Amino acid sequence: MKLYMNAMSPNVRRVRLTAAVLGIDLEEQKIDFAKGEQQASEYLVLNPNGAVPTLVDGDLALTESRAIMQYLASKKPESGLLPRDEKVRADVTRWQFWDAAHFSPQLGMVFFEKVVKPMIGRGAPDAQRIEEALANFRRYGAVLNRRLDGNEYVVGHALTLADLTLASSLCTPSRPRCRSAISPTSRRGSRASARSTHGRNRHPRQSPARDVTTMAGCC
Ligand SMILES: N[C@@H](CCC(=O)N[C@@H](CS)C(=O)NCC(=O)O)C(=O)O
């Protein structure tokens, strides 16, 4: 199977992470954004959106990172990454959709404004767009925090695609300039989390990792 990719992309990251956990080797071909390769006519046949990732397996050209994750996981059902139980599987899919619709776009926006724009000469970061994205990030981060409170994994008691999906999105702020945009909230969140967890958790040093807004730098 061949993966068209660019290592900067969180959407590529989640596919590579899934392949690594599954022990599946993918032949990789870099799509160079600086050269505009994502808009090359041969590539647009595979991915009409002009984006990465794209997985090609025989006559299948599959786009959308979370669909690719499910496809890879379905090759190794024994891994449990996409559980067989239909209710648990639906819950995993739900968190993947939640990430696509609500969570990762906020981090992607901050990353684009703070890191990509200066890199490609698209002008100064738009402070208002960054503020809006950070406000949404805090709102949805609180939802994920509540879900993880007392739970080791996002769904059930084992690693699933839900964890790999969300972890890949959270790796975006590990980019230094992006982290500096998020850190004021992270520091407040970290202290609040440590305080609130201290009274009821015998492992308070683990508490900052429970606050997803403090997970910048996880990868
Ligand atoms: N929903 C798609 C999003 C793909 C996407 O937007 N990829 C970005 C990189 S993170 C891209 O290739 N952008 C190139 C461009 O817009 O020119 C997925 O999950 O695969």
Each residue of 1-37: b (16+ CB within 10 Å) or e?
bebbbbeebbbbbbbbbbbebbeeebeeeebebeeeb
CA atoms within 13 A on the CB side of 177: 14
User: Going from the N-terminus, what domains does the chain have, and what CATH number goes with each?
Assistant: 2-79 (3.40.30.10), 86-214 (1.20.1050.10)
The CA dihedral of 97, 103, 108, 114, to the nearest 10 degrees, is: 180
The predicted model gives 138-167 an average pLDDT of 96
CA atoms within 13 A on the CB side of 23: 4
| CA–CA–CA angle 108, 3, 19 (5° rounding) | 80
Residues recorded for the chain = 219
SS3 12: helix
The predicted model gives 82-104 an average pLDDT of 97
Give the per-residue pLDDT at 217. Answer: 37
pTM: 0.83
Give the whole-angstrom CA distance, residue 126 versus residue 46: 33
Asked if the model's pLDDT at residue 179 lies above 60, the reply is no
Asked if the model's pLDDT at residue 142 lies above 90, the reply is yes
Cβ(92)–Cβ(160) under 8 Å? yes
Cα 212 to ligand 1 centre (Å): 23
Ligand 1 neighbours (beta carbon < 6 A): 9-11, 33, 38, 50-53, 64-65
Cα 42 to ligand 1 centre (Å): 17
Asked if the model's pLDDT at residue 202 lies above 70, the reply is no
The predicted model gives 62-91 an average pLDDT of 98
Helices (H), ranges, the chain: 10-22, 41-46, 65-75, 86-98, 104-111, 117-120, 127-148, 161-170, 176-198, 207-210
93-102, 120-129, 158-167, 172-181: least confident range: 172-181
**Mean pLDDT in the chain?**
84
**Which ligand 1 atom is nearest residue 9's CA?**
10
The tens digit of pLDDT for each residue in 34-75 reads 899 999 999 999 999 999 999 999 999 999 999 999 999 999
DSSP single-letter state for residue 32: -
Which residue lies with its CA nearest to atom 13 of ligand 1? 51
Asked if the model's pLDDT at residue 22 lies above 50, the reply is yes
Q: Are strands 60-63 and 27-30 parallel, antiparallel or unpaired?
A: unpaired
* Site to substitute for ligand 1 among 4, 8, 11, most atoms within 8 A of C-beta: 11
